[in-house]
Structure 1
């Protein structure tokens, strides 16, 4: 029993689990606030992510959108259908390969993003104002390093 208690105490002092818990809670708190801001504009976070991707990167093959905004491929069709119904995006068939369909932001979609993005940016600035500019840069560097390392671990498993 003493051996188990000692192992528990050692694990308790290891900051790995604490980092994971704090990172998860911080992400949830920030993501909830961002999602609430996006919902004010009649979109969900996935719809907004697709619109933002198409606005900033131009037309994209449907099968690549999921990778870029971290969405399961099965959900892309559903989201694209909803955005197309709202007339925020258009589907474009590839002339060279009919198996490929592109999504492109429409003029209505561009107008929507140009209208809502400045306030959305201000909200993100407000949400992250708990850190100084230097702390944000340090957090970006550390989180990127952690993400790259985790991606490398996935490749070895």
Structure 2
């Protein structure tokens, strides 16, 4: 029986994804945060003010669950909510100075952990992984 490379690629991708996820969750936890908290703050930290819907789509947290996480981050004064003056249904989120200061401290350390995950992988191989996984992701999305 011939080796099924698609199946093998799928299994290897899933195993690698799980290992990367576990390592990043552990790192985030070492900073006293949960992955969902970090994901929201990181999105606001790098992209600036966004609507709750935009955040929900970018960090892959359902709109039902995200409200709970946002409430906790708001109580800790790490982000603020503001109503959109043009659309009463839209609510903007923005990282506070306190949240930015915390991310200024945490994010470079987190980025270093990610750099270490890819240590020894050439820039060319990283570019190939990015290109291939984008193609796979787009094909999978088309089948939904």
1:47 paired to 2:31: no
1:59 match: 49
TM-score, structure 1 as length reference: 0.86
Residues 52-84 of structure 1 show CA distances to partners (whole Å, capped at 9, x for unaligned) of 111111111112211111111111101101111
Q: What are structure 1's unaligned runs of at least 5 residues?
A: 1-8
Q: How far does residue 130 in structure 1 lie from its aligned partner after superposition?
A: 4.3
Residues 124-139 of structure 1 mapped to structure 2, 5 A cutoff: 124-139=114-129
Q: Distance in 2 between matches of 1:138 and 1:97?
A: 42
Q: What are structure 2's unaligned runs of at least 5 residues?
A: none
Q: Which of the pair has more CA radius of gyration?
A: 1
2:94 match: 104
Residues 25-104 of structure 1 mapped to structure 2, 5 A cutoff: 25-104=15-94
Distance 1:122 1:38, change over 3 A: same
Aligned-residue Cα RMSD (Å) equals 1.3
Q: How far does residue 115 in structure 1 lie from its aligned partner after superposition?
A: 0.7
Q: Distance in 1 between matches of 2:62 and 2:24?
A: 21
TM-score, structure 2 as length reference: 0.93
Once superposed, which parts of structure 1, at least 4 consecutive aligned residues long, lie more than 4 Å away? none
Aligned residues: 144
1:140 match: 130
1:4 match: none
